[in-house]
Amino acid sequence: MEIIIATGNRHKLIELQDILGSHTLLLPEDIGIDFDFEETGESFLTNSKGKAFDLFNRINRPVIADDSGLSVHALNGEPGIYSARYGSTGGKELEARARNLYLLDKLEGKDDLSAEFICCMTLVMDTNRFFIVQESLKGEITRTFAGINGFGYDPIFYLPEYGKTVAELAEEEKNKISHRGKAGYRIARLLEEI
């Protein structure tokens, strides 16, 4: 099945393609659609569902959308739904490393470094036929960068049971345990049943 992923982020498409390998995944730009959804919801669920239906209503084809981010307990859930825009000012987004440094600065003097990645994923097959899953990956923030795989907060998100950051995991290993990977596998099982 051909499925359009409601994002401009090719990293997300690559991660999902590994999980949904039997399906052809495309970005909106691959089919000539300029897609830029403004995430104004107050939850991962609202943003994921809004993004999915916005694109579906434009193309009337199967769509997958996700909204994901990092929730740090000592910061009352920040950056949360603002993970990609965290620390941005005047409409200018920080690069990933600068966002990570901004987060580490906000954690200065905090003892509780527990955190989790959260991913809410929506699959829309038709206006009245859609599926939503939400998954998480628990870990903690490390004050030193490690690893070159992944993107975003992966180099400072430490998994004690693995003794590594997410950025130190091989792609296949990451896809099995990550928030997006777990949500993607649930969507893959749903697609098998459809």
- Residue 105 known to be catalytic: no
Predicted confidence at residue 92, as pLDDT, reads: 85
At 174 the pLDDT is: 87
Q: Which CATH architecture has domain 2-193?
A: Alpha-Beta Complex (3.90)
**Rounded to whole angstroms, how far apart are CA atoms 172 and 174?**
5
pLDDT of residue 28: 97
The pLDDT value given to residue 189: 93
Q: Which of 30, 67, 112, 154 is catalytic?
A: 67
pLDDT of residue 90: 81
Residues of the chain with pLDDT under 70: none
CA torsion, points 24, 7, 36, 40, in degrees to nearest 10? 140
The ranges assigned to domains in the chain are 2-193
Q: How many other CB atoms sit within 10 Å of the CB of residue 103?
A: 21
**pLDDT tens per residue, range 135-158:** 999 999 999 999 998 789 999 999
CA dist 129 and 91 (Å) reads 36
